[in-house]
Structure formats: structure tokens, C-alpha cells
């Protein structure tokens, strides 16, 4: 019997119901995990191919996005919007065509942008830590900032030589992490039955 004075915690009830429903499908999580681990292994073995396929995929998406922006530009009635969407669409579609026609150059450009982004994010995290270092747990932010900054610097120092493998390596690592997470989640759900 529930206490009428005490509110029912619907959030925990909904979460428990969702977990119960997932337990019936634990095998799918295990299968997905194994599949992602196999794909990660293929990506690490064929790291250059994984990089080039990733760049081609990104290039196709950018080309489609650029064409969409150009179509949108012709549908916008005011001049400022037309000019903005046209220029944006041309740059986006041009970058997509570059990545499709010359995936090695596309990988080089994406690797450089990735390294620069890591350097900027690492520096930002260190600046935030510097301004908040008295906060409890701020050391973790500093550690994260240092690791991110150093990773970006290593990518930039080795650029463009690392362009043919760095994106493939990141794809392989991501596939491995997702695979292990899905596999362990499936096994944990099975154990709760």
C-alpha cells in the first residue's frame, strides 16, 4: 500500500520498466558488441582504407549538404539570405567534392582541423581550470586539458604524415569502445534475468 502523502517516483519506475524490457533483448546487445569489435579489428588492420572510406563518406555528406544549401538559397527571397546560403553551399559542396575526388587531401585537411580543434579545446579547458582551480575536482579538468592539448600538438607536429592513418585509428578506437560497451551491457542484462 502506498503512502498518499508520499509522491510516486515515476522516473525510477519508468527506468525499471525500460531495463526490464531491455533484458529480453540482451542477445542483440551482445551481437551488436561482437559486430562492432569485428569492424574495429578490420578498421585497425586496414587503417588507411578506414581513413579513406571515412573521408569519402564525409565528402558525400558534405556534397549533399552543400547542394541542399544551394537549393535553399534559391528559395530564400531576400538578398542577404540568398548570398549567405549560396556562399555557404558552394564552400560546403566544394569541400565535399575535394574529399570525394582526392580523399588523401581531404584526410589531410580533416586531420589538420582535428588537431587544431584539440589544441583549442585543450587550451580552453586549461584556461577554465586556471580560473576555477580552487573548485573540488578541478584537477581532473586540468588533466583532461593537458591530455587534449598534447594530443592536438602531436597531431599537428606529425601533420601531414599522419593524415592517412589518424582518422582510421580514431574510427577503430570508437568501434572498439562502442563494441565493448554494447557487449558488456548485454552480458549485464543477461545476468540480471
d(CA 122, CA 131): 14
The answer to whether residue 126 sits within a structural domain is yes
Percent of the chain with pLDDT over 70: 90
Q: What is the pTM of this model?
A: 0.68
The answer to whether residue 140 sits within a structural domain is yes
Interval 60-80: pLDDT, tens: 999 999 999 898 888 876 766
d(CA 105, CA 101): 9
- Range picked from 70-84, 133-147, 169-183 for highest mean pLDDT: 169-183
Inter-residue contact 125 to 78 (CB < 8 Å): no
Asked if residue 18 has pLDDT above 80, the reply is no
Domains identified in the chain, total number: 1
**Residue ranges making up the domain that contains 182:** 30-191
The answer to whether residue 18 sits within a structural domain is no
d(CA 138, CA 124): 14
The answer to whether residue 21 sits within a structural domain is no
The answer to whether residue 74 sits within a structural domain is yes
The answer to whether residue 57 sits within a structural domain is yes
The answer to whether residue 93 sits within a structural domain is yes
Region of residue 2 (phi > 0: left; psi between -120 and 50: alpha; otherwise: beta): beta
Asked if residue 16 has pLDDT above 90, the reply is no
The answer to whether residue 23 sits within a structural domain is no
Range 108-131 average pLDDT = 91
Amino acid at each position: 500500500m502506498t503512502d498518499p502523502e508520499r509522491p510516486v517516483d515515476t522516473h525510477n519506475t519508468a527506468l525499471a520498466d525500460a531495463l526490464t524490457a531491455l533484458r529480453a533483448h540482451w542477445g542483440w546487445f551482445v551481437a551488436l558488441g561482437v559486430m562492432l569489435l569485428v569492424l574495429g579489428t578490420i578498421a585497425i588492420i586496414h587503417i588507411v582504407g578506414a581513413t579513406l572510406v571515412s573521408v569519402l563518406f564525409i565528402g558525400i555528406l558534405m556534397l549533399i549538404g552543400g547542394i541542399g544549401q544551394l537549393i535553399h538559397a534559391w528559395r530564400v527571397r531576400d538578398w542577404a539570405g540568398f548570398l549567405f546560403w549560396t556562399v555557404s553551399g558552394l564552400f560546403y559542396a566544394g569541400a565535399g567534392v575535394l574529399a570525394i575526388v582526392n580523399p588523401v587531401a581531404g584526410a589531410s585537411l580533416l586531420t589538420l582541423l582535428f588537431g587544431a580543434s584539440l589544441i583549442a579545446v585543450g587550451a580552453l579547458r586549461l584556461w577554465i581550470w586556471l580560473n576555477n582551480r580552487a573548485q573540488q575536482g578541478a584537477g581532473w579538468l586540468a588533466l583532461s586539458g593537458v591530455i587534449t592539448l598534447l594530443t592536438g600538438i602531436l597531431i599537428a607536429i606529425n601533420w601531414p604524415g599522419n593524415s592517412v592513418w589518424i582518422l582510421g585509428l580514431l574510427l577503430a578506437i570508437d568501434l572498439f569502445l562502442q563494441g565493448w560497451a554494447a557487449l558488456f551491457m548485454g552480458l549485464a542484462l543477461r545476468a540480471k534475468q
